[in-house]
């Protein structure tokens, strides 16, 4: 072979395309030719979501004939007709004491209570537990009534006298018949102004509170949230427990109780709330006559909070205990305060995440994608989204309980759905969450006691009673763009606080949770 021929062979292409037939050419030239659509590939991270939706569709298979009666698509409805409510009247006395009433004369009963802007947050490390101890001691006799007389008077009226203490508020209230409201107010004024605090009663109550602490330690949810506050707000007053330490309970004295009352049970920090079969003018006159010994110290709770603010710290606490059958953990972000404009959006986001219990059933049919994921894959026993507000901060997150071998899957599902609020929010999910939130708010104030509590709490936190129509309007103003904006403020690339207890060896490390506050695939 000559050199010229070898060069010619080298210049030829290595492979030639096959000659097209006439039919093939005609097909290619035809306007109806088949072409591959230019669609982006499905992201590998979305396949799990699509699989969940496919399962739901196969399980439900709804009959279209019945969809007009129970449509799976939420709709925006007008609640104007159900928002009519009695007026909340408020009177402020010269000493700063506020009196608020809501008259429902058709109701045979009424609830009268005293809401105080004081709780465990306003204690010191040495006196932590005093507010709760005082709640117990307030019913142990006064200069006018012995314990027996107090109990018999309430029993003879057929009434109910109770109290509770939180981190920022303390409440004493009585539910009685409408005609017995003057007696109830007299009892409340007596126990708040004339309590004896006998040493024998104090020593006896120590044992009662210590037994109560043992009972609380057996309630997993209470313990988890105490640990969550301790790690999220460490070295600040909000990190302390409400009950206090056992050492403090053993050392609290009569002087501690009296000092706490004189310092924090002041007229400007108290609201007397009455709801039911009452008249505002009569309640005001009764309060003027009975609540005459209250301190007029002008220092407000907000001023005390400003001196010792609560700082959120990204951290975790883990208690490994294989004797506990189920693992439980709470994941929380720094939330909004009561007066923060974004607090309403966080309430809607809490409703979007939802809550679920294995015994309740129906998880795969709920609107929350987190609940759907958990129920279909059976990776949890219970789950609850929470949104807790305080005067200057808050906590927003999810509490869950599961079997030990499901901990990592459950943690992945929770963080995936929480982080997704910053990127992908559908209009249908927001509408459904708004409807659920408005329904729960209406159900919450069904009765004189919830109404009185709602009035007292809102006057302490907002300084006024927010009408339900205004609250509904603020909820309806939340749309998908609002949810994304608020999620980017509180969730996207923010520190988290984690409290976990039980067989949690498979719970991912803290940095794993921190990295999943954002999704790089978007």
How many CA atoms are closer than 13 Å to the CA of 116, on its beta-carbon side? 31
Total H helices, total E strands in the chain: 20, 12
Specify whether 50 is catalytic: no
Which residues lie across from 165 on neighbouring strands?
A: 170
The active-site residue out of 102, 135, 168, 417 is 135
pLDDT of 217 reads: 86
Specify whether 212 is catalytic: no
Burial of 117 (0-12, 13-18, 19+ CB in 10 A): buried
pLDDT of 64 reads: 58
pLDDT of 43 reads: 64
What parts of the chain have a pLDDT lower than 50? 1-37, 522
pLDDT of 50 reads: 77
**For 277-426, where are the E strands, in sequence order?**
315-320, 327-334, 355-357, 382-389, 394-402
- Phi first, then psi, for residue 20 (nearest 5°) are -80, 140
**Model confidence pLDDT, tens digit, residues 72-99:** 667 776 666 666 778 899 999 999 999 9
**Model confidence pLDDT, tens digit, residues 123-169:** 999 999 999 999 999 999 898 999 999 999 999 999 999 999 999 99
For 337, residues 6+ apart whose C-beta sits below 8 A from its C-beta are 343, 389, 390, 391, 392, 393, 394
pLDDT of 381 reads: 94
The active-site residue out of 123, 205, 316, 453 is 205
| CA dist., res. 92 & res. 95, Å (int) | 8
Averaged confidence pLDDT in the chain: 86
- For residue 242, CA distances in Å to 85, 223, 227, 457 come to 35, 11, 12, 18
pLDDT of 47 reads: 76
């Amino acid at each position: 072979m000559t050199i010229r021929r070898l060069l010619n062979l080298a210049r030829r292409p290595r492979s030639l395309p096959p000659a097209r037939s006439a039919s093939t050419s005609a097909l290619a030239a035809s306007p109806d030719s088949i072409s591959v659509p230019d669609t982006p590939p499905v992201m590998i991270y979305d396949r799990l979501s699509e699989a969940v939706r496919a399962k739901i569709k196969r399980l439900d298979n709804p009959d279209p004939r019945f969809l007009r009666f129970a449509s799976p698509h939420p709709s925006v409805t007008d609640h104007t007709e159900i928002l009519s409510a009695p007026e909340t009247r408020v009177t402020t006395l010269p000493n700063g004491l506020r009196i608020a009433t809501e008259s429902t004369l058709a109701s045979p009963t009424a609830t009268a209570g005293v809401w105080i802007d004081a709780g465990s947050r306003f204690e010191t490390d040495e006196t932590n537990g005093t507010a709760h101890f005082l709640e117990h001691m307030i019913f142990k006799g006064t200069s006018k009534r012995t314990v027996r007389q107090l109990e018999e008077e309430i029993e003879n009226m057929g009434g109910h006298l109770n109290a509770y203490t939180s981190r920022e508020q303390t409440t004493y209230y009585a539910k009685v018949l409408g005609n017995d409201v003057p007696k109830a107010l007299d009892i409340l004024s007596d126990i708040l102004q004339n309590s004896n605090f006998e040493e024998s009663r104090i020593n006896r109550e120590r044992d009662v509170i210590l037994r109560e602490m043992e009972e609380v330690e057996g309630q997993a949810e209470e313990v988890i949230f105490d640990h969550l506050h301790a790690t999220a707000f460490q070295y600040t007053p909000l990190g302390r427990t409400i009950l206090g330490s056992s050492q403090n309970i053993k050392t609290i004295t009569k002087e501690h109780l009296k000092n706490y009352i004189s310092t924090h049970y002041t007229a400007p920090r108290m609201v007397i709330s009455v709801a039911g079969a009452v008249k505002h003018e009569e309640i005001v006159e009764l309060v003027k006559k009975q609540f005459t010994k209250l301190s007029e110290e002008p220092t407000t709770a907000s001023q005390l909070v400003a001196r010792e603010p609560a700082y959120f710290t990204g951290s975790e606490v883990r208690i490994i205990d294989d004797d506990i059958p189920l693992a439980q953990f709470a994941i929380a972000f720094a939330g909004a305060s009561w007066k923060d404009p974004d607090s309403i959006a966080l309430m809607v986001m809490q409703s979007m995440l939802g809550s679920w219990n294995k015994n309740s059933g129906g998880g795969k049919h709920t609107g929350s994608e987190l609940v759907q994921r958990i129920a279909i894959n059976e990776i949890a026993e219970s789950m609850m989204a929470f949104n807790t507000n305080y005067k200057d901060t808050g906590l927003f997150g999810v509490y869950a309980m599961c079997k030990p071998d499901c901990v990592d899957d459950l943690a992945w599902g929770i963080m995936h759905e929480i982080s997704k609020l910053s990127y992908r929010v559908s209009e249908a999910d927001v509408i459904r969450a708004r409807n659920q939130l408005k329904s729960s708010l209406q159900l919450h104030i069904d009765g004189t006691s919830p109404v009185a509590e709602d009035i007292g709490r809102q006057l302490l936190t907002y300084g006024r009673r927010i009408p339900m129509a205004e609250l509904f309007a603020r909820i309806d103003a939340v749309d998908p763009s609002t949810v994304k904006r608020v999620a980017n403020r509180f969730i996207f690339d923010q520190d988290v606080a984690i409290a976990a207890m039980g067989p949690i060896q498979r719970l991912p490390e803290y940095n794993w949770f921190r990295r999943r506050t954002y999704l790089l695939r978007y």
